[in-house]
Amino acid sequence: MISVFDNKGYKKVLTTENIDLKFVEIVKDEKSLIEKFIQTVNERDPDIVCTYNGDEFDFVKLKEKCDKLKIKLSLGKDDSNVKFERRGRKSAATITGRVHIDLFNFVDHILSPSMKTEVLTLDAVAQELLGYGKIELKWKEIEDSLKKKRNLERIAEYSFRDAELTLKLAEYLLPQIFSLSKLTMTLPFDTSRYYYSQLVEHFLMRKSVESGFIIPNMPKYEEIEKRKQLPSYTGAIVIEPKTGIHNNIIVFDFQSLYPTIIVTHNISPETLVCGHTECRVKNSVPESKSYFCMQKSGFVPKHLEEIIVKRRDIKERMKNLKKGEEYNKLKNYQYSLKIIANAMYGYLGYSGARWYCRECAESCASWGRYYIRYVIENAKNSGFNVIYADTDSCFLNLSNESKEKLVKKAEEWHNKLNKNLPGIIELEFRGVYNAGIFVSRRGEEKGAKKRYALIDDEGKLEIRGFETVRRDWCDLAKDVQHEVLKIILKEKDVDKAVSFVRDVINKLKQGKVKLSELAIYTQLTMPLSEYKQIGPHVKVAMKMKERGRFVGEGMIVQYIITKGKGSISERAEPLEDVKEGQYDSDYYINNQVLPAAMRVLQALDISEDDVLSGKKQFKLKNWF
């Protein structure tokens, strides 16, 4: 089957199977199928062709079939063949006269860090961005249906939905891609495949041309390797948290800390160590011999400030607009500005950058540490308890004070502090939380950095560093940990939390947990032939390939650890090949659910034996 949707109402599933549905068009064989697809594309004559992982799958498979059947994959406006353009380790499918946008690349390279889903499948991404996903159908069901020629309508509907989701994602994401394309003056084909550093570099190249500056040369291989050999510099500061449970926590963040530091302190390769005594005195980098000129505006901060100011103006305009075409246009534009601004600091320290300047990146980090320390000391001197501080955030509360008094005092402190911060550096109020838990490192009394959970008035959890945000844990383990955190922080009932974990363990032993809750997701980061250590996901990928399925670098492998003999890797099977109840309950109890729950419970001096035996009563009051 091949499914085709366009934004002018065309919706078709082309197939060789005898399926009686209004959106299905039947052809006699596979050669006719591909020829009909080529004819359809040329008749519909789109300017843009969107796929989801088309570079690595759809067009690769079509090209293989065309070569085998001796067909020309002539989708170009000039009747030319689809070509594959090499881009690093991967290739991109190009179509003459049409822009091929592979939406997966844009999601993977740009959107994924800010998305909740860790699995970038079409289904997961559509669920998050559109609110609905694929039709649920396992590979085994598809295989059986095709062999036995039964329930083929279901497969056609499944294929139909895939094309529909791709079109809807295109309508959602193309405005963002076009906005970035306009900002960086790059072609949408390239914009959709670029990484952060490439987008920043093209933005700076555009500004160089506009300003009449010479664009620096690309560094040679030897220079890049030389840069990579330099010792790493000290990064952001993270203050060790006070372990336990805290009530009424107020959180502040610096607004775009590193971009505002670059602008405020005029950090740019050509302003470094200018030789002016006044600049050395007034703009010297903390803990460093570096300083930056304040007498002339630097190239990088000048254009970065334009972005920051423009984005703030747009966000103010958006407050007075109802959601609609104009609102969405501004939303996409400010998002493209945000991407460039936030990536600038990392770009300056990237070894392959034209505007590479290690001292600039190091200075940003040094000033970042200076300002978060300044906030912490100021908060302590103003009577606040500093529970935790991390890179550009601080978590505060007041002893024996109500939430109302805390908020009032925090607002007064916040306004006074911002008046003393230089340039455009600004501390923002993020929110007030009813409670939060900060845990210790495993086997230590010290607090674990970047691992905490907060709960707000509405019962919503904000979680950092726990298994709920890790891909290599199954959904059940994540859900258990999420529920344990919620019970402890919202209901303050540790006995209930322990009892909940025990109930889940019993369900696992009885074989009553659905496979979808137990699937583990791991990405293939290289071709199968390059793996020296054969982990479960690699073993599963090998099995999939042996069974005739597509396997490629970058894809997410979903698998279940099944009952039986042998190592965990040997017992790992593709999700679609496992029947309900075939999972290894001991594995999921001891390697998934219990460890995930204990990440939280051990902070309250609860042991695995306490959870499994159920003989001990627990109280939380000592932990506040």
Longest dimension (CA), the chain: 84
Q: Which domain holds residue 117?
A: 2-175
314-355 pLDDT, tens per residue?
999 999 898 888 888 898 899 999 999 999 999 999 999 999
Residues 477 and 607 reside in one and the same domain: yes
Residues 380 and 487 reside in one and the same domain: no
List the CATH number of the domain containing 40: 3.30.420.10
Residues 479 and 449 reside in one and the same domain: no
List the CATH number of the domain containing 263: 3.90.1600.10
Residues 328 and 402 reside in one and the same domain: yes
Tell me what the mean pLDDT of segment 386-394 comes to: 91
Cα distance between the two ends of the chain: 60
Question: Is residue 323 in some structural domain?
Answer: yes
What's the predicted TM-score (pTM) here?
0.83
pLDDT band for position 559 (cuts 50, 70, 90): very high
Does residue 107 carry a pLDDT above 60? yes
Out of 40-44, 123-127, 362-366, 547-551, least confident range: 547-551
227-241 pLDDT, tens per residue?
999 999 898 888 888
Residues 439 and 475 reside in one and the same domain: no
Average model confidence (pLDDT) across the chain: 90
Structural domain ending residue among the three candidates 150, 175, 200: 175
Residues 439 and 473 reside in one and the same domain: no
Higher-scoring residue by pLDDT: 616, 50: 50
pLDDT of residue 144: 82
List the CATH number of the domain containing 523: 1.10.132.60
Quick one: tokens of 426? 């600004």
Higher-scoring residue by pLDDT: 274, 403: 274
The CA-CA-CA angle for residues 170, 175, 178, to 5°, reads 110
Is 93 in contact with 54 (CB distance < 8 Å)? yes
Residues 254 and 375 reside in one and the same domain: yes
**What type of residue is 612?**
L
35-79 pLDDT, tens per residue?
999 999 999 999 999 999 999 889 999 999 999 999 999 999 999
* Residues facing 394 on adjacent strands: 252, 389
In the sheet that holds 427-440, the strands lie side by side as: 238-239, 385-390, 393-397, 244-254, 427-440, 447-455, 461-464
pLDDT of residue 605: 78
pLDDT of residue 552: 76
- What percentage of the chain carries pLDDT values higher than 90? 67
Higher-scoring residue by pLDDT: 490, 523: 490
| Calpha distance 397→416 (Å, rounded) | 18
456-513 pLDDT, tens per residue?
888 888 888 775 545 678 889 989 998 999 999 988 888 899 999 999 999 999 999 9
pLDDT of residue 469: 47
Tell me what the mean pLDDT of segment 366-383 comes to: 95
Higher-scoring residue by pLDDT: 552, 521: 521
Question: Is residue 188 in some structural domain?
Answer: no
pLDDT of residue 619: 60
pLDDT of residue 136: 84
Question: Is residue 192 in some structural domain?
Answer: no
* Long-range contacts from 27-31, C-beta under 8 angstroms, 24+ separation: 30/65, 30/69, 31/69, 31/71
Question: Is residue 200 in some structural domain?
Answer: no
pLDDT band for position 448 (cuts 50, 70, 90): low
SS (H, E, C) 59-94: HHHHHHHHHHHCCCCECCCCCCECEEEEECCEEEEE
| Calpha distance 477→205 (Å, rounded) | 47
Residues 474 and 431 reside in one and the same domain: no
Structural domain ending residue among the three candidates 453, 486, 510: 453
- What percentage of the chain carries pLDDT values higher than 70? 96
Question: Is residue 280 in some structural domain?
Answer: yes
138-147 pLDDT, tens per residue?
777 887 888 8
Residues 151 and 13 reside in one and the same domain: yes
Structural domain ending residue among the three candidates 175, 196, 226: 175
Quick one: tokens of 293? 């000129």
Count of the separate structural domains present in the chain? 3
The values of phi and psi at residue 95, to 5°, are: -130, 120
Question: Is residue 216 in some structural domain?
Answer: no
Give CA separation, 374 vs 258, 297, 414, in Å.
15, 26, 13
Question: Is residue 492 in some structural domain?
Answer: yes
pLDDT band for position 614 (cuts 50, 70, 90): low
HSE, CB side, 13 Å, CA atoms: give it for residue 594.
18
Those residues with Cβ within 8 angstroms of residue 371's Cβ, 6 or more apart along the chain or in another chain: 254, 257, 261, 421, 425
Which residue, 464, 506, 501, 467, is CA-closest to 484?
501
Quick one: tokens of 60? 């690769």
Give CA separation, 332 vs 153, 174, 292, 316, 550, in Å.
38, 10, 34, 14, 35
Residues 363 and 445 reside in one and the same domain: yes
Question: Is residue 384 in some structural domain?
Answer: yes
Out of 235-239, 259-263, 278-282, 369-373, least confident range: 235-239
Is 439 in contact with 489 (CB distance < 8 Å)? no
Residues 397 and 489 reside in one and the same domain: no
The CA-CA-CA angle for residues 506, 511, 513, to 5°, reads 85
Give CA separation, 527 vs 106, 161, 327, 524, in Å.
21, 29, 43, 7
563-574 pLDDT, tens per residue?
999 999 999 999
Residues 38 and 102 reside in one and the same domain: yes
